[in-house]
Amino acid sequence: MEQPLDISPIPVPYDRIAVLGGGAWGTALAVVAARAGREVRLWMRDAAQAEEAGRTRHNPRYLRKTALPEGLVPTSDLRWALEGAEAVLLVTPSVTVRDMAARAAPLAPPGVPFFVCAKGIEGETGLLMSQVAEQAAPGRPIGTVTGPTFAAETAAGHPTAVTVACTTAADTPLAERHAARMAISLTTETFRPYVSDDLVGVEVGGAVKNVIAIACGILAGAGFGENTRAALITRGLDEIKELAVRLGGRRETVTGLGGLGDLMLTCSSPQSRNFSYGFQRGQGIAESDVFDGAPVVVEGRGNAVTITDFARKLELRMPICEMVREIVADGRPIGEAFAAYWARPLMAEPRAMDLTFPHPAEEAAVRRFGELMP
């Protein structure tokens, strides 16, 4: 017979949450929070978008089929959005995190935690998004909400699980920690958060998975199947683990929702912008013509450069990320770049064995992939 769980004290939810960012994921998180009974103010950069969303109860640009619940108020007034907030979800693209955190910091009540929901590494500094927010909003608890999620499915009420992590003093009781409070604040019958104290491990998984997804998309677009995808996901997970550990994270975190879960989802569906971008490139579509030339944000393109820059400084091998960088940033032909990756010296799977020897079919691999791929 299964033993009953030891039930911890129930964390106190945040009654009022400010969600900064009216894109698809910001809207989805705002909808989840409102369904969970929270008072939500959803800040949108565009005043006309906010006005229409308030009037029609639908976001006119994103998740148009999702009705905005009672308790969710769209606004373009940043000061009002943050007034009286007990927690802030910062859901803007990674390149805007520093600016948005700096703008929000003096307007939010003192001590209110900021949960950064963007994923990536800042190019100029090599900092994770939580570290960027910490610099821009010093003295505040910083966390993240991340995991294997597509915004449309989350908003539609599909069963969804995420990881919530946040910096908190070590002597804070578990039920009073910001991650636990945010988790209980977002929990609904279909949205299930898990709590973590490994912010670094969670964030590294979220940053690197976008780059691996581009690689999977490229190879799928070039006509390769599930064997290839499984190899890239598995070896990509190894790259995530090594970077996370080097930065002070834990390996077991990377096998959770924020690492392996997010990686599998992003690498396996055309709903992922990163996978879709890679798929089109693998079909031979030029960079300028991807998404029919529309200005779609593909975080993995920039992350491929920032992550490999960081890895090089650490003298860390991340060959899949390097391959993607060569294709999307350096202009190397796809077949040539993949051949160089696939025909590398053979090695042991556990890196601790430190075993390598030349690939006996290197020249044949270079010829084959050069012929098959654009």
Q: Is pLDDT above 80 for 8?
A: no
Return the domain boundaries, the chain. Answer: 16-197, 201-333
pLDDT confidence bin for 6, thresholds 50/70/90: low
**Contacts with 7 (C-beta within 8 Å, 6 or more apart), sequence order:** none
- Model confidence pLDDT, tens digit, residues 139-161: 999 999 999 999 999 999 999 99
- 56-98, pLDDT tens digit by residue? 999 999 999 999 999 999 999 999 999 999 999 999 988 999 9
User: Worst-scoring range by mean pLDDT, 14-18, 75-79, 112-116, 331-335?
Assistant: 331-335
CB-count burial class (<10 Å; 0-12, 13-18, 19+) for 45: middle
Query: Spelled out in words, what is the top-level CATH class assigned to the domain 16-197?
Result: alpha beta
Tell me, yes or no, if the two domains 16-197 and 201-333 fold the same way: no
The pLDDT assigned to 3 comes to 61
Residue 284 CA to residue 301 CA, distance in Å, equals: 17
State pLDDT tens for residues 264-287: 999 999 999 999 999 999 999 999
How many CB atoms are closer than 10 A to CB 246?
15
Asked whether the predicted pLDDT for residue 2 surpasses 60, the reply is no
> Which two tokens mark 294?
């529309």
Given a contact cutoff of 8 angstroms between Cβ atoms, the answer to whether 231 and 175 are in contact is no
Q: How far is 348 from 188, CA to CA, in rounded Å?
A: 44
Q: Give the residue-averaged pLDDT of 329-340.
A: 93
**Is 119 a catalytic site residue?**
no
1 has pLDDT over 60 = no
Choose the catalytic residue: 65, 119, 209, 313. Answer: 209
Between CA 249 and CA 218 the distance in angstroms is 29
DSSP per-residue string spanning 120-156: SB-TTT--BHHHHHHHHSTTS-EEEEESS--HHHHHT
pLDDT at 148: 95
- Under the banding of pLDDT at 50, 70 and 90, the label for residue 113 is very high
Average pLDDT of the chain?
93
DSSP 3-state assignment of 119? coil
- Closest C-alpha among 135, 103, 132, 106 to residue 119: 132
pLDDT digits (tens, 9 = 90+) for 294-322: 988 888 999 999 999 989 999 999 999 99
DSSP conformational letter for 250: -
**Of the given ranges (9-23, 24-38, 225-239, 350-364), which has the lowest mean pLDDT?**
350-364
- pTM assigned to the model: 0.92
CATH superfamily of 201-333: N-(1-d-carboxylethyl)-l-norvaline Dehydrogenase; domain 2 (1.10.1040.10)
pLDDT at 86: 98
Residue carrying structure tokens 């798929």? 279
Alpha helices in the chain (DSSP H): 24-35, 47-56, 78-82, 97-104, 129-136, 151-155, 178-186, 199-221, 226-246, 251-254, 262-266, 273-282, 299-313, 319-328, 334-342, 362-372
As a whole number, mean pLDDT of residues 163-182 equals 90
